[in-house]
Amino acid sequence: MSDKVSLSLTINGAQHALTVAPERTLLDVLREELRMTGTRRGCDAGDCGACTVLVDGLPMLSCLSLPARLGGRDIRTIEGVESGGELHPVQRALVQHGAVQCGFCMSGIVLAAKALLARNPSPTLDEVRHALGSNVCRCSGYARVVEAIASVGGRP
């Protein structure tokens, strides 16, 4: 018989009390229990980055994270990136640069970029490429995505 673990998660600043089987991943919980479906499931193995969330500001893979261990940590998902109905500058830049195609990678890319810009407000194109090292995009070829993110910090 599986244990159920009771826990409280802080997601986008709000507390969520949950009782889950310990093997359920954060991705399972976000998508299935909390119906926060903006976090995408692309591989369930940490290879695609579509499920990226920020934990205490760092990009992590929700498909490899067990929520039982995340009590008290600050979890930020794509649903918590806008503020006051305003797009985050990186979201706005991706839209304006025509960088968005199928969009399935976008939640993860927005979060990875947000984390980068928080510690490096004016990244170079190369720094952006490195920050996207966990995020596969199969549509864009990355060029417009990287340029859009770099533009937020004032780089070309």
Binding residues for other proteins restricted to 94-133, rule: CB under 8 A: 94-107, 110, 112, 125, 128-133
Any bridge partners for residue 55, and if so which? 58, 75
Classify residue 83 by its DSSP letter.
B
Q: Which residues 66-85 are close enough to bind other proteins by CB under 8 A?
A: 66, 68-69, 77-79, 81-82
Whichever of 15 and 82 has its CB closer to other proteins, that residue is: 82
Write the single-letter amino acid at 98.
Answer: G
Q: How far is the CB of 139 from other proteins (least distance, A)?
A: 5
Structure tokens at 93: 């830049």
Q: How far is the CB of 100 from other proteins (least distance, A)?
A: 4
# chain residues binding other proteins, by CB under 8 A: 80
Identify the CA nearest to 80 among candidates 135, 16, 14, 35.
14
Among 9, 29, 34, 60, binds other proteins (CB under 8 A): 60
Q: Which residues 20-39 are close enough to bind other proteins by CB under 8 A?
A: 21-23, 25, 31, 35-39
Whichever of 113 and 121 has its CB closer to other proteins, that residue is: 113
Residues 6+ apart with CB under 8 A from 69: none
Q: Phi then psi for 38, rounded to 5 degrees? A: -65, -25
Whichever of 6 and 121 has its CB closer to other proteins, that residue is: 6
Q: Burial of 92 by CB count in 10 Å (0-12 exposed, 13-18 middle, 19+ buried)?
A: middle
Q: Which residues 36-55 are close enough to bind other proteins by CB under 8 A?
A: 36-50, 52, 55
Structure tokens at 104: 């399935």
